[in-house]
Amino acid sequence: MKIFDYPETKIIGKNTIIRKLEHRDLDKSLEWLKDPLVNKFLSQDFATLDKRQEDDWYRFMQKSKNDLAFAIETINGYYIGNCALHKINWFRKCAEFGIVIGEKDYWDKGHGSEAVSMVMVYAADKLKLRRIILNVYEYNKRAIRVYSKCGFKLVKVLEEDHYYNRKYWDTYIMEYRSRR
C-alpha cells in the first residue's frame, strides 16, 4: 500500500486528461521512447530499450512509494503521452518531473502545457509537494517555453553537459515552487 496514491479517477482538463499509466499503455510508450525525433529530447537514451526492460520499469513504478507515472490523453480519450513525478521526497516535499508527448501530430496543440499545469496542481494540492525540479536541454525550445509558461524558473545551467548531434549543449535545471 502506498502512503500516497494516484487520483481516484481521471483528472479532466479543458482539452487534456491525466490518468494513471496502465500496463496496456506500454507498447505504445516503448514505440515513442525509441523514436529518435522524440528521444533526442529525453534525459536517457532509450534507443536500445526493450519490452522486458520496460516491464521491469513498470513493475518498479507500481511498487515505488516515491514515483507516480501518468498517461496523457486528449479529451476524447486518445492516448498521446506520459508524464511522471519521480524521486518524491516526502520529508523535503519535493520531486522531479518528466513528460513526453510521443504522438508528434499532437505537439503544439496545448496538451503538454495543460498536462504540466494539471500535474503541478495535483502535486501541490493533493501530494502537498512544494518544489518540483526538471532538466531540459537548451535546444528543446518548445519544452522550455511550456515550462516557463507553467511557472518553472531557470535555476541552474550545466554548461556543455549533454552531447547530441556532434555538439555539446547546456542542460537547464528548472524549478517550480508551489505558492499554495
Ligand X SMILES: CC(C)(COP(=O)(O)OP(=O)(O)OC[C@H]1O[C@@H](n2cnc3c(N)ncnc32)[C@H](O)[C@@H]1OP(=O)(O)O)[C@@H](O)C(=O)NCCC(=O)NCCS
Other CB atoms within 10 A of residue 95 CB: 24
Is 141 a binder of ligand X (CB under 6 A)? yes
Candidates 20, 142, 162, 177; binder of ligand X (CB under 6 A) is 142
For residue 166 the three cell numbers come to: 556532434
Stretch that binds ligand X, among 5-13, 54-62, 136-144, 159-167 (CB under 6 A): 136-144
- Element at 63 (helix H, strand E): helix 51-63
Min separation Cβ 169 and ligand X, Å = 12
Coil, helix or strand at residue 84: strand
100 binding ligand X? (CB under 6 A):
yes
109 lies in the site for ligand X, by CB under 6 A: yes
Closest Cα partner for 99 from 79, 113, 78? 113
**Which residue is it, cell 529518435?**
36
Contact positions vs ligand X (CB under 6 A):
38, 41-42, 81, 99-101, 107-113, 136, 140-143, 145-146, 149
